[in-house]
Amino acid sequence: MDMQAINEQIVELKDYVKKRFDAVDKRFDEHDERFDNNDKRFDGIDKRFDEHDKRFDEHDKRFNRIEGSLDTQARKLLEHDDRFKEIDERCEQRHREVMEGQDKMMKILVRLDQERTFCHKRFERHEAEIKKLGGFKEN
């Protein structure tokens, strides 16, 4: 083979390789464009995620306020329970005192009733004895 034929083959090979590289470069450019489009989409998605994160942060703050409020209410409820127990104990004590007083009054009333009954019977016997002796005149 002569030099000229070899040069022509080299030129052909070079052109072939250049075409192949151009085709590969074109495909890389297409892929780069697709990657750029995907990057733009991911940027949009990232912005939406940032917005969602802000909303979640706001919700977290709100939940923390609500949780603090619930803790306060639970503490107050326990305080009120303790106060109600104290009030209940005082009411029970007062009820016992009132009932003890009424029991004492009932004992006194029963004793007075018994004394009245005994006195009445005693007066009847006394009157009967006086009548017997003749010293009592009826009106």
In the chain, at which residue ranges do the beta strands (DSSP E only) sit? none
Express each pLDDT in 63-121 by its tens digit. Answer: 999 999 999 999 999 999 999 999 999 999 999 999 999 999 999 999 999 999 999 99
| pLDDT band per the 50, 70, 90 thresholds, residue 133 | confident
* Alpha carbon separation from 31 to 8, 23, 28, 38, 41 (Å, rounded): 34, 12, 5, 10, 15
In which band, very low, low, confident or very high, does the pLDDT at 139 lie, cut at 50, 70 and 90?
low
Mean pLDDT of all residues in 1-19: 89
Radius of gyration of the chain (CA): 57
Q: Tell me the pTM.
A: 0.44
